[in-house]
Amino acid sequence: MATDLDIARAARLLPIQEIAARAGIPETALEPYGRHKAKVGLDFVAEQERMSAPRGALVLVTGISPTAAGEGKTTTTIGLGDALNSLGRKAMIALREPSLGPCFGVKGGATGGGRAQVAPMEEINLHFTGDFHAITSANNLLAAMLDNHLYWGNELGLDARRISWRRALDMNDRALRSINAALGGVPNGFPREDGFDITVASEVMAVFCLSKDLAELQQRLGRIIVGQTRDGRNVTAHDLKADGAMAALLRDALAPNLVQTLEGSPALVHGGPFANIAHGCNSVIATRLALRLADVVVTEAGFGADLGAEKFLDIKCRSAGLAPSACVVVATARALKMHGGVAKSALGAEDVAAVTRGAANLRRHVQNMQKFGLPVVVALNRFTSDTDAEIAAVQAAVRPLGVEAILCTHWADGAAGAADLARAVQALIAGGTASFEPLYNDHMSLQGKIETVAREIYHAASVSVPPPVAARLRRFEEQGFGHVPVCIAKTQYSFSADPALMGAPEGHVLPLREVRLSAGAGFVVAICGEIMTMPGLPRRPAAEGIGLDAEGRIEGLF
């Protein structure tokens, strides 16, 4: 069978100028990066913002809680976009950029699969147009300027024990989670505790993804809080005079990246926070541009709907004034079987009862999306081993919610395999039943917001809040940050904070461990359970199998 890489290599890509023309982007607005990638100039983006209102319908693709069986959320986003185009709608796709970290860890690439891919896959998966490197540099410039400020006399009076700004790398590297820095004596500065997060978890990434233009980007960067003085006064990136240079580092990166699917649909791939440890959706600037250019914009939020979709709706849509018209929840019978208690090794055998048990996970995600006022359709990615009875069990599970589960085969068949899904999505858009509202309002207390998400979305019985963490939340409110939404960092494998609790657990306690104020991004990060903001590599990292073949082509990205 042809691998994703074989299919990608066999594809004849169109010059990016042609893809741009399809999207209504003139060649003069493009900054090409090679022949098949381009940035869309910020001048053109600004002109579109000035000249036209958003006209497209926004469709969110999200999924069940992920399992080792795989669900295919990115392929569904791509397949749906291709299918809408093949049905004569003008559709654009808005995805996140892959991170190098998981690429070298367990995950391989993040550009879809089968006949539903964005291309060129090797380049998008590795450095692409350098956006994440720019974000890493901006993050670490701020850190370097901070330690340099301490070194040269600390005029701002930063308390070294109260520094919250961490360094970042786009790498899975557990050894950098917790370090002692500035060791070695006077020339190297004042020793202090520090650590690195993966770039996709950094506040600079969030700021980047939430800014609609360069001016907003620089303002948000300036508001980033790096730590406090001894008497509790916040010190910002602007106080350190770092915001200008950070914005300069990010200037070119802020222009959205245009690529194509294997079927020639235009796709904006831009920004890329993870949904488990960050806010989980592509850039506001790309989504807003797509909504001005296309009739339908298909976008994806990371991991399960409890993480990516909730943050997409409560953080991104709230901040950027977006309102989705429909929501697609992606599932597979195999994955639901795992949620129903079947081991990965036993997925080959039919087990309708397990599918029905596991469908509780799907049902809850669907109901959660309905709580935001969104009409929902389920995309059921078909595997050859799925039996008709298993498929029927999934369809039966969601029918009482007023939701259809549409079989999809875009992995094997491209656009044709998602045509039914596209028709269903079109019907939801045409129905006009969406009445989007965020889950909680701005005025609720920060702890109340965390508890609301835990109760309504995770079905937790309660949130355990250590007293110092509660005090810290109150302090944020006193400082005038009570109005911001919350960004909950939690395992993606369960509605709870325990990755082993699959299905649709009830009555669990969400252990809130730590809160961080991201004043630039405009949210409070609430870290729950054992979640790490810097992943590690597995025993046999994917990197061991990545290399060049005799013609200099990259092998081992999958």
Binding flags for its own copies, 519-548, as an x/- string (CB under 8 A)? -------------x---xx-x-x-xxxxxx
Judged by CB under 8 A, the stretch of 184-192, 366-374, 396-404, 483-491 that binds its own copies is 184-192
Residue closer to its own copies (CB basis): 232 or 536: 536
Judged by CB under 8 A, the stretch of 48-56, 122-130, 321-329, 440-448 that binds its own copies is 122-130
User: Which residues within the stretch 133-152 sit at the binding site for its own copies (CB under 8 A)?
Assistant: 133-134, 136-137, 140-141, 143-145, 147-148, 151-152
**Binding residue positions for ATP:** 67-74
Residue closer to its own copies (CB basis): 148 or 462: 148
Distance set, CA 222 to CA 155, 215, 219, 241, 520 (Å): 18, 11, 5, 8, 7
Q: Which of 128, 165, 303, 312 is catalytic?
A: 303
β-strand partners of 487: 525
Residue closer to its own copies (CB basis): 278 or 537: 537
User: Which residues within the stretch 214-253 sit at the binding site for its own copies (CB under 8 A)?
Assistant: 214, 218, 241-245, 247-249, 251-252
User: Which residues within the stretch 338-357 sit at the binding site for its own copies (CB under 8 A)?
Assistant: none
Least separation in angstroms between residue 444's CB and its own copies is 34
Annotation marks residue 436 as catalytic = no
Among 82, 194, 263, 314, binds its own copies (CB under 8 A): 194
Q: What's the angle, vertex CA 506, arms to CA 381 and CA 328, rounded to 5?
A: 25
β-strand partners of 298: 59, 93
Among 400, 467, 480, 552, binds its own copies (CB under 8 A): 552
Judged by CB under 8 A, the stretch of 185-193, 228-236, 289-297, 309-317 that binds its own copies is 185-193
Residue closer to its own copies (CB basis): 180 or 433: 180
Binding flags for its own copies, 78-107, as an x/- string (CB under 8 A)? ----------------------x---x---
> Are the C-beta atoms of residues 39 and 257 closer than 8 Å to each other?
yes
User: Which residues within the stretch 17-46 sit at the binding site for its own copies (CB under 8 A)?
Assistant: 31-35, 39, 42
- Per DSSP, 543 falls in state G
Annotation marks residue 96 as catalytic = yes
E strand spans, 391-501 = 405-408, 462-464, 486-489
What separation, in Å, do the N-terminal and C-terminal C-alpha atoms of the chain show? 14
Least separation in angstroms between residue 171's CB and its own copies is 5
Residue closer to its own copies (CB basis): 170 or 203: 170
Q: Which of 372, 383, 481, 495 is catalytic?
A: 383
Annotation marks residue 275 as catalytic = yes
- Per DSSP, 523 falls in state E
- Per DSSP, 266 falls in state E
What is the distance between the alpha carbons of residues 49 and 51, in angstroms, rounded to a whole number?
6
Q: Which of 96, 167, 212, 334 is catalytic?
A: 96
Annotation marks residue 303 as catalytic = yes
Question: Which among 451, 524, 514 has a CA at the least distance from the CA of 486?
Answer: 524
Annotation marks residue 495 as catalytic = no
Question: What contacts 7, CB < 8 A, 6 or more positions away?
Answer: 114, 115, 117, 262
Least separation in angstroms between residue 28's CB and its own copies is 10
> Are the C-beta atoms of residues 170 and 101 closer than 8 Å to each other?
yes
Q: Which residues of 410-448 are buried (b: 16+ CB within 10 A; e: fewer)?
A: bbebbbbbbbbbbebbbebbeeeebebeebbeeebebbe
Residue closer to its own copies (CB basis): 184 or 507: 184
Q: Which of 73, 89, 115, 490 is catalytic?
A: 73
Q: Which of 11, 29, 75, 335 is catalytic?
A: 75
Q: At what angle do helices 446-456 and 467-476 cross, to 10 degrees?
A: 120
Among 184, 400, 468, 507, binds its own copies (CB under 8 A): 184
Annotation marks residue 152 as catalytic = no
Annotation marks residue 199 as catalytic = no
Among 18, 24, 70, 123, binds its own copies (CB under 8 A): 123
Residue closer to its own copies (CB basis): 119 or 355: 119
Residue whose token pair is 């005038």: 480
Q: How far is CA 303 from the centre of its chain?
A: 8
Q: What's the angle, vertex CA 226, arms to CA 512 and CA 318, rounded to 5?
A: 60
3-state secondary structure at position 29: helix
Question: What contacts 242, CB < 8 A, 6 or more positions away?
Answer: 141, 142, 145, 146, 221
- Count the site residues for its own copies by CB under 8 A: 76
Least separation in angstroms between residue 259's CB and its own copies is 15
Among 3, 52, 154, 178, binds its own copies (CB under 8 A): 178
What is the distance between the alpha carbons of residues 538 and 523, in angstroms, rounded to a whole number?
31
Judged by CB under 8 A, the stretch of 85-93, 130-138, 366-374, 447-455 that binds its own copies is 130-138
Question: Which among 171, 150, 163 has a CA at the least distance from the CA of 100?
Answer: 171
Least separation in angstroms between residue 205's CB and its own copies is 15
Among 84, 171, 226, 293, binds its own copies (CB under 8 A): 171
3-state secondary structure at position 39: strand
List the catalytic residues: 73, 75, 96, 107, 275, 303, 383, 411
